[in-house]
Amino acid sequence: MSIDLCVFDAIAGPPQHDEMHIAGRCIPRLVGEFWTARQRQASALHEIAYRACFKPQLPRYFIERLSQPGDVVYDPFGGRGTTAIEAALLGRRVINNDISPLSAILTAPRLRPPAHQAVAERLARISPAAHGAEIDLSMFFHPATEREIVGLRDYLRRRRQQGEEDDVDAWIRMVATNRLTGHSSGFFSVYTLPPNQAASPQRQRLINARLNQQPTYRDTRAIILRKTLSLMRGLTESQVAHLRQASQSALLLTGDAHATPMIASESVQLTVTSPPFLDVVQYARDNWLRCWFNDLDAQVIESAIAQMRRLDDWLSVMAAVFGELYRITRPGGWVAFEVGEVHGGRLRLDEHIVPVGEAAGFVCAAVLVNQQRFTKTANIWGIRNNERGTNTNRVVLFRKA
């Protein structure tokens, strides 16, 4: 299948063009700076901390080129909902799936953002609990802050159990979940890192001792209202209309990516996703506090997540996912599958995923390697190329004939 590779332009000059030879096929490979963090400044609505999420410029790049307004855009490994939110902002219909219920908790409210005043009025009705949490959280929160968090948790639990949780409640739940722990006064907790996962109580005690710190009072109501304003800054009336329109048909699923019977066959124009890579995330350890706040069992969720320590295991799981993606993708539709370099760059998953996608029936059209200058030091998924000043995304593009 031929494809006009000119559609995949680079913003910093023409991309380098070579070929990958995989299973007797020559796959075009484009290397360049296709998107950057500054390219079309991302909406503030994306600013929800979550481990291992890609920047919204990545899905935007493919959504703009490989779909039209009204098309369905899907992410089977939705995480914080980056693809879904970006697609909705661009006037597409959205489907989001993730094995963790936290994904829907973080995604759905941003498709239906409430008025700031409505959030303020609702928060004013929620009283602190008369007691602290049933578990020891004293290493994270001031006692008064902890009672406010427990009051929020009790209120949201009651509203959900009574079937009365509305858009405002869901928004408060999402923001509070995101503000539980972090590294600044914009979070409920004493200083801790990183903001997208919770330290263990034992680890937090060590942090407190090292920094000679004690949890000080944090006004949870004020923090939620400030974060609400921050998330909504710059949203245009048109974008809000797009979000609400997308919410009317949105499917926010919680389950395995290889079995999604609620998605109609040949209904998806574009999938943009990044799968989990080879057992690098400890779900229960990272999300125990968020799960506690939302009455979720982190251990049960983690047991449902495929722990793939070997490449063969990972490829087997991805083969099942691609089989399902082929069923739901319409003819002429696309899959943009972002993978990384793991094991210190020695294992390039793009070279392994091409035959998996093609075995499912797709044709690999190209591999895009996005390289850009990177100003922060970070080692994600075991990648150390950031220490050399670059940040690399590898996206394998498949098309259904």
Looking at the fold, whether 59 and 45 belong to one and the same domain comes out as: yes
- Claim to verify: residue 58 and residue 86 sit in the same structural domain: yes
Where a domain ends, among 186, 208, 230? Answer: 230
- For residue 321, the tally of other CB atoms under 10 A from its CB is 24
Residues 6+ apart with CB under 8 A from 124: 221
In a domain, 295, yes or no: no
Residue 296 lies in a domain: no
Same domain, 243 and 218: no
pLDDT grade for 363, boundaries at 50, 70 and 90: very high
State which H helix or E strand residue 31 sits in. Answer: strand 25-32
* Percentage of the chain lying above the pLDDT 90 cut: 70
Average the pLDDT over 177-191 and give the result.
Answer: 96
Q: What is the pLDDT of residues 145-173, one digit of tens each?
A: 999 999 999 999 999 999 999 999 999 99
**Do 210 and 351 share a domain, yes or no?**
no
Q: Are residues 340 and 262 in the same domain?
A: yes
| Chain segment 194-213, per-residue pLDDT in tens | 877 889 999 999 999 999 99
> Does residue 258 sit in the same domain as residue 360?
yes
Helix (H, G, I), strand (E, B) or coil at 334: strand
How far is residue 121's CA from residue 114's CA, in Å, rounded to a whole number?
Answer: 12
Percent of the chain whose predicted confidence (pLDDT) is above 70: 89
Residue 169 and residue 95 share a domain: no
Residue ranges making up the domain that contains 134: 116-230
pLDDT band for position 375 (50/70/90)?
Answer: very low
pTM metric for this prediction? 0.91
71 within some domain? yes
Total domains in the fold of the chain: 2
pLDDT at residue 296 above 70?
A: yes
Same domain, 77 and 217: no
